[in-house]
């Protein structure tokens, strides 16, 4: 039985109910749990909503809702997550010792990266040092839209940090570089001497559109200012299963399945070099159906290889 006067127990209950798909209104929780409206609002405002993206308040329905089974997807039990939320919130308490907030953020960032590796089963993902607070400062600046200055490639830069992405195991900061007046991506671990300013920034709808295109990115050859275009590949059954188990793109889709398990696969790229390394890695069990220009470039690479090494 839950002791609803205990915040840990109460958060445990709320997270379990939300993960099951329950829609939780404040009046209902006040009646069920026997606590005040203010306590329920504090539970969500200070402990749940700031840290669990899957939970949100639906103003039209006037209740708290979450993505179903989000706990299973996070590989966490409700009580473990409740404990983490309490620690997160307490680390921001005015009585917390100096440096405790950064240490807690570093711990959870490292823990989150480990979970991502388990979820996606990546064998080679660049490690971010939890004791180095650079990426933590940047993540906080992204959330609060604060301008930062930093050193990158031995040059001082002023950036609007937009998002952190992982491309083929390496972490990058997607940013607006004020000197170039352009979207850039910088290797995250190569960024040093970060300072976060009180000044905030806003980005245009056009920049938002460009950022959305990063969903299509496969590797660092991705070109955000080019409209993604379709590529269709034939995958022999010997390798098709690997692409189905671990998609190389969020937007790949199977166009046709053959009796022997081979497939035709469609995905979107912005530059041939986004997909050429993968094609050449799996040859001769993979072939380009279209576009013709990609086929030609693969054939040219094969010709250069034959001349040099055969």
Tell me, yes or no, whether 86 and 13 share the same domain.
Answer: yes
User: Would the pLDDT of 229 be above 90?
Assistant: yes
Residue 162 forms part of a structural domain: yes
User: Which of 71, 90, 109 is a domain's end point?
Assistant: 90
Residue 218: inside a domain: no
pLDDT > 70: what percent of the chain?
91
* pLDDT of 117 higher than 60: no
pLDDT at position 220 over 60: yes
Q: What is the mean pLDDT of residues 179-183?
A: 92
CA distance 23 to 58: 9
Could you identify the residue written with the tokens 């209950």?
Answer: 13
For residues 194-199, average pLDDT: 93
More confident residue, 7 or 246: 7
Residue 193 pLDDT greater than 90, yes or no? yes
Cβ density class 134-147: b for 16+ within 10 Å, e for less: bbbbbbbbbeeebb
Asked if the structure places residue 213 within a domain, the reply is: no
- pLDDT attached to residue 247: 86
Task: Provide the percentage of residues in the chain whose pLDDT is more than 90.
Answer: 55
Q: What pLDDT does 122 receive?
A: 44
| Residue 61 sits in the same domain as residue 28 | yes
Print the domain residue range for 117.
92-203
**Residues 111 and 81 reside in one and the same domain:** no
CATH code (residue 45): 1.10.10
pLDDT per residue as tens digits for the range 274-290: 999 999 999 999 999 99
Q: Residue 132 has what pLDDT?
A: 66
Q: Is the pLDDT of residue 30 over 90?
A: yes
One domain for residues 84 and 97? no
Do 101 and 170 belong to one domain?
yes
Question: Which of 162, 187, 203 delimits the end of a domain?
Answer: 203
Chosen domain end from 90, 111, 143: 90
Phi, psi of 166 (to 5 degrees): -115, 125
Q: Does residue 212 lie in a domain region?
A: no
pLDDT at res. 119: 46
Q: Which CATH number covers residue 238?
A: 3.30.70
| Rounded Cα distance, 130 and 136, in Å | 8
Residue 210 resides in a domain: no
> 74 and 108: one domain?
no
Of the candidates 282, 247, 217, 250, the residue with the CA atom closest to the CA atom of residue 122: 247
Task: Clarify whether residues 83 and 148 are in a common domain.
Answer: no
- Please give the pLDDT value at position 216: 81
How many folded domains does the chain comprise? 3
pLDDT band per the 50, 70, 90 thresholds, residue 183: very high
Cβ-Cβ contacts under 8 Å for 138 (sequence gap 6 or more): 148, 161, 164, 173, 188, 191, 194
Q: Is residue 305 part of a domain?
A: yes
Asked if residue 219 is part of any domain, the answer here is no
Q: Using the predicted structure, report yes or no on whether residue 114 has a pLDDT greater than 80.
A: no
Read off the pLDDT band of 104 (50, 70, 90).
confident
**pLDDT, tens digit (0-9, with 9 covering 90-100), for 243-278:** 998 888 888 999 999 999 999 999 999 999 999 999
- Say if residues 257 and 235 touch (Cβ distance below 8 Å): no
pLDDT of residue 123: 45
Q: Is residue 28 part of a domain?
A: yes
Distance CA 114, CA 243 (A): 22
Q: Are residues 66 and 136 in the same domain?
A: no
Once rounded to an integer, what is the mean pLDDT over residues 42-47? 93
Question: What is residue 120's predicted lDDT score, i.e. its pLDDT?
Answer: 47
């Amino acid at each position: 039985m839950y002791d609803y006067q205990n915040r840990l127990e109460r958060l445990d209950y709320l997270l379990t109910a939300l993960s099951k798909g329950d829609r939780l209104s404040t009046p209902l929780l006040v009646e069920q749990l026997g606590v005040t409206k203010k306590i329920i609002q504090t539970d969500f405002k200070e402990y749940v909503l700031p840290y669990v993206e899957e939970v949100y308040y639906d103003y039209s329905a006037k209740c708290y809702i979450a993505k179903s089974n989000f706990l299973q997807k996070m590989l966490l039990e409700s009580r473990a997550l409740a404990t983490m939320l309490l620690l997160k919130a307490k680390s921001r308490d005015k009585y917390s010792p100096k440096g405790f907030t950064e240490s807690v953020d570093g711990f959870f960032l490292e823990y989150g990266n480990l979970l991502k590796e388990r979820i996606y089963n990546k064998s080679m993902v660049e490690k971010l040092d939890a004791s180095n607070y650079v990426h933590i400062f940047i993540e906080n600046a992204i959330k609060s839209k604060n301008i930062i200055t930093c050193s990158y490639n031995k040059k001082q830069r002023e950036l609007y940090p937009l998002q952190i992405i992982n491309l083929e195991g390496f972490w990058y900061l997607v940013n607006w570089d004020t000197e170039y007046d352009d979207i850039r991506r910088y290797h995250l671990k190569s960024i040093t001497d970060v300072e976060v300013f009180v000044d905030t920034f806003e980005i245009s709808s056009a920049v938002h559109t460009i950022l959305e295109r990063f969903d299509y990115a496969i590797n660092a050859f991705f070109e955000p200012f080019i409209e993604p275009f379709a590529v269709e590949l034939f995958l022999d059954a010997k390798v098709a299963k690997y692409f189905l188990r671990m998609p190389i793109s969020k937007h790949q889709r199977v166009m046709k399945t053959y009796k022997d398990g081979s497939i035709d696969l469609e995905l979107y790229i912005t530059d041939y070099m986004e997909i050429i390394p993968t094609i050449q890695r799996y040859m001769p069990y993979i072939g380009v159906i279209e576009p013709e220009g990609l086929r030609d470039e693969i054939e040219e690479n094969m010709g250069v290889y034959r001349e040099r090494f055969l």
